[in-house]
Amino acid sequence: MISRKCYEDFHAGFEFDFRIAGLTANEIMEFAASYDPQRFHLDENEASETHFGGLVASGFQTQLLCFGAFCREVLLDSWAIGAPGIDSLKWLRPWYPGEPLDGNVTLISRRLSSKRNDRGYLSFQLRGNVDGAPLVAMDWVVMILTRNGAAKQLE
């Protein structure tokens, strides 16, 4: 368990690249029905009458799929213990069915907690593009145990 990455194992400049295959119209509509049932996410005909000109993914679906890729490949192999929030999330253009998304997460900076000596904070920037055009940008902070913090939890 201690082999999972701790605060000390992450350094500014760390990068993680990922790719999400284009979504199908059904995947977009199913997510929308559960979580964001606005007409341009839920119904192809109604969407075609809006300024989007067709069905587009909920921005929350974009956010979750990008975070999920990072979570599975990076966070699950670490002593991350949650996040205090999202500092900024920008949806820069609509995401249409069939468009693959190229993503990158970069560790911008890190700092130890001033209050608790068992943890630190990692500041990440996530960027997603479609065909080179910026589609989503998210900046957020992840809390993570230090090596000592992780060792204490295993005692």
Select the residue interacting with a copy of itself from 2, 12, 21, 76 (CB under 8 A).
76
Q: Which two tokens stand for residue 27?
A: 């995947």
Select the residue interacting with a copy of itself from 40, 95, 96, 124 (CB under 8 A).
40
Q: State yes or no: residue 91 binds a copy of itself (CB under 8 A).
A: yes
Stretch of 16-24, 68-76, 100-108, 126-134 lying at the interface with a copy of itself (CB under 8 A):
68-76
DSSP annotation of 42 = H
Helices (H), the chain: 25-35, 39-42, 44-48, 59-73, 147-154
Stretch of 20-28, 89-97, 104-112, 120-128 lying at the interface with a copy of itself (CB under 8 A):
89-97
Select the residue interacting with a copy of itself from 21, 48, 77, 90 (CB under 8 A).
90
- With both helix axes pointing from N to C terminus, report the angle between 25-35 and 59-73 in degrees, rounded to the nearest 10: 100
